[in-house]
Amino acid sequence: MIRPDKHGYYGEFGGAFIPEMLFQNVYELQQQYEKIIFSDDFQRTYQSYLKDYVGRPTPLYEAQNLSQHYGVKVWLKREDLCHTGAHKINNAIGQVLLAKYMGKQRIIAETGAGQHGVATATACALLNMPCQIFMGEKDIERQKLNVLRMKMLGAIVTPASSGSKTLKDATNEAIRAWIQDPQHTYYVIGSVVGPHPYPDMVALFQSIISQEIKTQLQEKGYQYPNYVIACVGGGSNAIGAFYHFIHNPITQLIAVEAAGEGIHTHKTAATITLGKKGILHGSLSYLIQSDDGQIFEPHSISAGLDYPGIGPIHSFLYEQKRIQVLSATDQEALEAALELTRLEGIIPALESAHALAALKKIPFQQNHSIVINLSGRGDKDMNTYQNVFSYE
């Protein structure tokens, strides 16, 4: 468990660095979110959707072939089996439901890989809310299937054509849209980023992942895992997988960043490895930026990790030396994706493949048990896989 102080800080990270135009929106949310989401009524509805609609608990699968290959016990937390294909739905349903409780009439969201966009559009279809998704022009191109899904679900998909035309700019556009309709619009942020209370709220909604892992391991006769490994862009699946292990020092928490073409190139999204403290999208955290404080355009083959910042909770846990940060290149992620596909018959999302790539980087002992959060499935990445592996 980890919660911010009353101003939304985790140590020096987090906070709410927002222009005045957003103050009322954010303040309203800060005042209301805990009251609503911890209420019995909300929890009953939310938990019932998680169980019967999302398909939770997701399996904790002992990947025997992968285990044998690496000589350690590897468990996969199958978030890829969630409805819509990734963990993003846990948070999307929670926030759209919260918006309903708050009496909001319209939902907006940003999306990178499209998973959060699809999850939000799905929750909006389910809960009957109009939905507008902002998506970078470049991501619209490389995640066509998800764009079609969002449209079929009834969402308006608005291209973000400013800046690097990816997740960062989609987020800027969503915030600008929110500024212009503070009263009726609710902004569903998809990761543990943004001004307080978003990081806390998204972490709470995703913490179901580690809650289940803990129970499922105990059912299988294991007290705790030696390692929990997850990929990080903004960091929502990672915090979900880490949450209930944070205060258990025996479990090592490994966050894998996207190194893109390599951390020594300019084409990377390895935020903690290369970043400096700064402010983006309303919170203080590590960012990849110039000496002058201009945010760099990140690069990763995986659109979901293509973000120049990271959630303030992760920056805090990193400074506390509670999480270890590794990075995996585009190439390493692709190899790990193919390996899992061939060994286990599971095609992972490119994002999750970064977590799998860490198996080659950690000096495990034979009796170690490792949990990898398989945050999403690879359907949306078939174009990329096809181009790289050139199947006919």
Partner 1 sequence: MNKLQQLFQKKPNNLLSIFFTAGYPQLEDTIPLIQYLCKSSVDFIEIGFPFSDPLADGPTIQATNYQAIQNGMTLSLLFKQLSSLPPISTPLILMGYLNPILQMGIPQFLHNCSQNQIDAIIIPDLPFDYYEKYFQKTMSEYNICSVFLVTPSTPPDRLNQIKQFTTGFVYVVSDNSITGKNIDFQKQKKYLENLQQCLEGVPKIIGFGIKDPLSFQTACQFANGAIIGSAFLNHLKNHKISLELVQNFIQSIRL
Catalytic residue IDs: 88, 110, 375
**Binding of residue 12 to partner 1 (CB under 8 A):** no
Residues with Cβ within 8 Å of 331's Cβ and at least 6 positions away in sequence, in order, are none
**Binding of residue 175 to partner 1 (CB under 8 A):** yes
Contact residue for partner 1 among 92, 135, 272, 280 (CB under 8 A): 280
Residues with Cβ within 8 Å of 387's Cβ and at least 6 positions away in sequence, in order, are none
Contact residue for partner 1 among 277, 342, 360, 361 (CB under 8 A): 277
Judge contact between 89 and 109, C-beta under 8 A.
no
Tell which residue, 110, 49, 282, has the closest CA to residue 120: 110
Judge contact between 175 and 187, C-beta under 8 A.
yes
- Residue 206 CA, chain-centre distance (Å), reads 9
Choice between 7 and 51, CB closer to partner 1: 7
- Residue 267 CA, chain-centre distance (Å), reads 21
Instruction: Report 81-100 residues binding partner 1 (CB under 8 A).
Output: none
Count of residues interacting with partner 1 (CB under 8 A): 38
* Residue with the two structure tokens 């080659």: 360
Instruction: Give the pair of three-digit tokens for residue 378.
Output: 């690879």
Q: By CB under 8 A, which span of 88-96, 112-120, 168-176, 311-319 interacts with partner 1?
A: 168-176
Judge contact between 36 and 101, C-beta under 8 A.
yes
CA distance 30 to 27: 5
**Binding of residue 6 to partner 1 (CB under 8 A):** no
**Binding of residue 181 to partner 1 (CB under 8 A):** yes
Tell which residue, 108, 90, 346, has the closest CA to residue 209: 90
**Binding of residue 44 to partner 1 (CB under 8 A):** no
**Binding of residue 15 to partner 1 (CB under 8 A):** yes
Radius of gyration (C-alpha) of the chain in whole angstroms? 19
Contact residue for partner 1 among 1, 3, 12, 27 (CB under 8 A): 27
**Binding of residue 156 to partner 1 (CB under 8 A):** no
Minimal distance, residue 262 CB to partner 1, in Å: 23
**Binding of residue 104 to partner 1 (CB under 8 A):** no
**Binding of residue 38 to partner 1 (CB under 8 A):** no
CA distance 248 to 41: 31
Contact residue for partner 1 among 1, 5, 7, 71 (CB under 8 A): 7
Choice between 282 and 378, CB closer to partner 1: 282
Q: By CB under 8 A, which span of 96-104, 178-186, 228-236, 317-325 interacts with partner 1?
A: 178-186
Choice between 181 and 261, CB closer to partner 1: 181
* Residue with the two structure tokens 């390692």: 227
CA distance 346 to 271: 28
Residue type at 197 in one-letter notation: P
Bridging pattern class, strands 252-260 and 227-232: parallel
Choice between 17 and 101, CB closer to partner 1: 17
Contact residue for partner 1 among 18, 118, 170, 337 (CB under 8 A): 18
x/- mask, partner 1, residues 237-276, rule CB under 8 A, reads ---------------------------------------x
Q: By CB under 8 A, which span of 160-168, 197-205, 243-251, 326-334 interacts with partner 1?
A: 160-168
